[in-house]
Amino acid sequence: MRYQEGDIVVPFSLDSPYLTGGEYDDVPDLPIDPSYLRYLGCDEKYLTAGASAMDMGLVRKELAAVFHDTTARMIRYDRDAFTDKWSSALPGMDTVGETIATVSRCQLQKLEKYFKLEDYFNKHFAIYFTPYTEDKRAAADDDGRAIGRYIYRHWLWMHRTSLHCKWPPFHRHHFMARATKFVDRRIGPDCWNLEQCLVTDLPYVLAFHRSVCDSAAACEDDIKPQRQWTRADKRNPDPKLRNPNFAPRLSQQPLSYRQHGFQLGHIFRSLFMVVDGCHSHTPKEDYRLKPAKPEFKNFEHDEWEADWRVSGFKVVLVRTGDDHHLSAPVSFQPLFDSGRTLPLERDDDCRGENAVRVRLDHALEFVEYLVRREEEALPHLREAAEALEHELDQVCEQWVERVLHHAAEVGLDNIGYTWQAIRRARARLNGEAFDLEQMAPEWELLRHWYPGGT
């Protein structure tokens, strides 16, 4: 997929996913035409609102929101960067066909043909999709897609509402989770219909997770390949002197992954999630037990129903015991005390304090609690989070300044981004929204990957 936003063309590097405000770059713009206005679902009473007597501080805030919205949209809709990791069963989520629960450093580097080593770094926890029973195999792919959409939305909300009250850091491949699906693809000559899932109990997944963590950590001091996307620029014929399409630009010197800011997440070793298909979909007739509000429109009702269904998926959280680097050991006691644990429904050796089954929304809240606890307890984690925020704020401010500088030359109402920001600011002053994305961003949808329903 190639998603185009003005002069922004994806694919792009998750090392540096934000709109650039560089000296030699064109100002990204939005079309102002009737078809685009219909797509936005604009409130017509604000269409004629001009820039006169407008508080530029409010316009700056709306432009900053557009800056972050654009990144969130591109990451959600770009297949290489995110979507294929979740929305496809094979070869989407990274698949593993090993018969032993070990992955050496050499094997991990060889798997670069399927995914990047960076995919393991800067994630809070891992999710392993293990085989469903035969009667639920058909639902496995749909469940994986739904969980991916739910986690993406939670990642956005987690930072904006409770963790830092800001947008999450997408640069340097930061994300909430890393997904892996266990499947044996060696049955038949590349015939997907002859796949046979591996039998993977929790001790197997635990050994695999530890092995992957050790191998990935061993690669942290390896030299990171440069994958910066650059725009052809006649003024700078030397590729090394061209500005990248996106920011922040990483150092061009040969540095290690760690020096570039890539390493295993702080709690990644200590906890992982298993999706095994034990959750059962709520029967259709049971939806009546919690009816939607009468004023809901069909689209809103569908989203509400999807939220209710996916949040109730039953998943397994497993603590690895590798938590000596944490401020305190991982304990599931808060989940027991709050009555959130469910019957484990497994015959594995991992039980009680080492593995619990909970709803998906409760599992993500528990991970969020651990992240917050560690940042509050350990100064170096707070400093690292603040450094990411500062870097992001700088890139955002550069882009906003670049847009406003150009708007001063041609007029605020003649640039799509400032045109939209002015009208959003006026609507917000009245406690209203100018367009649908200001209320319900399409990249937070749960029912589909794309607004068209695919």
265 and 192: one domain? Answer: yes
65 and 199: one domain? Answer: no
Lowest mean pLDDT among 45-54, 145-154, 338-347, 358-367: 45-54
What's the pLDDT at 50? 66
Average pLDDT over residues 335-350: 86
Measured between alpha carbons, how far is 284 from 56 in angstroms, rounded to an integer?
50
SS3 230: strand
User: pLDDT (tens digit, 9 = 90+) per residue, 283-320?
Assistant: 444 444 454 444 445 667 778 888 888 999 999 999 99
The helix (run of H) or strand (run of E) holding residue 191 is none
290 and 414: one domain? Answer: no
In a domain, 276, yes or no: yes
Residue scoring higher pLDDT (406 or 87): 406
Residue scoring higher pLDDT (81 or 242): 81
Lowest mean pLDDT among 239-248, 306-315, 374-383: 239-248
What's the pLDDT at 267? 97
What's the pLDDT at 198? 57
Tokens 């709050």 -> residue: 338
Are the C-beta atoms of residues 311 and 360 closer than 8 Å to each other?
yes
215 and 324: one domain? Answer: yes
User: pLDDT (tens digit, 9 = 90+) per residue, 140-152?
Assistant: 667 888 888 899 9
Residue scoring higher pLDDT (163 or 73): 73
Residue 262: is its pLDDT beyond 50?
yes
Integer CA distances (angstroms), 305 to 198, 397, 450, in order: 33, 38, 17
DSSP codes of every residue in 34-97: HHHHHHHT--GGGTT--STT--HHHHHHHHHHHHHHHHHHHHHH-IIIIIHHHS-TTTTSEEE-
204 and 281: one domain? Answer: yes
Residue scoring higher pLDDT (346 or 186): 346
How does the average pLDDT of the chain come out, rounded? 75
330 and 214: one domain? Answer: yes
187 and 39: one domain? Answer: no
Lowest mean pLDDT among 166-180, 219-233, 362-376: 219-233
Lowest mean pLDDT among 154-163, 210-219, 317-326, 393-402: 154-163
Tokens 């990411």 -> residue: 388
In a domain, 243, yes or no: no
207 and 295: one domain? Answer: yes
Of 377, 403, 432, the residue that ends a domain is: 377
16 and 114: one domain? Answer: no
Residue 419: is its pLDDT beyond 50?
yes
pTM equals 0.83
Lowest mean pLDDT among 78-82, 120-124, 382-386, 398-402: 78-82
Measured between alpha carbons, how far is 5 from 74 in angstroms, rounded to an integer?
9
In a domain, 79, yes or no: no
Average pLDDT over residues 37-59: 75
Report for 70-79, 360-369, 386-395: range of highest mean pLDDT: 360-369
Structural domain containing residue 134: 92-222+257-377
In a domain, 401, yes or no: yes
pLDDT band (50, 70, 90) for residue 360: very high
Alpha-carbon 161 to chain mean position: 16
Tokens describing residue 179:
């997904």
Lowest mean pLDDT among 216-220, 290-294, 361-365, 431-435: 290-294
What's the pLDDT at 332? 95
Of 322, 348, 377, the residue that ends a domain is: 377
pLDDT band (50, 70, 90) for residue 135: low
What's the pLDDT at 291? 46
Q: How many structural domains is the chain composed of?
A: 2
Q: Which amino acid is at 3?
A: Y
Report for 309-313, 330-334, 413-417: range of highest mean pLDDT: 330-334
Residue 339: is its pLDDT beyond 90?
yes
CA neighbor of 385 nearest in space, from 139, 100, 234, 163:
163
Average pLDDT over residues 230-235: 46
In a domain, 87, yes or no: no
Residue 325: is its pLDDT beyond 50?
yes
What's the pLDDT at 20? 67
151 and 267: one domain? Answer: yes
In a domain, 77, yes or no: no
Residue scoring higher pLDDT (413 or 139): 413
CA neighbor of 387 nearest in space, from 206, 112, 169:
169
Measured between alpha carbons, how far is 423 from 428 in angstroms, rounded to an integer?
9
What's the pLDDT at 14? 76
119 and 181: one domain? Answer: yes
Average pLDDT over residues 3-31: 54
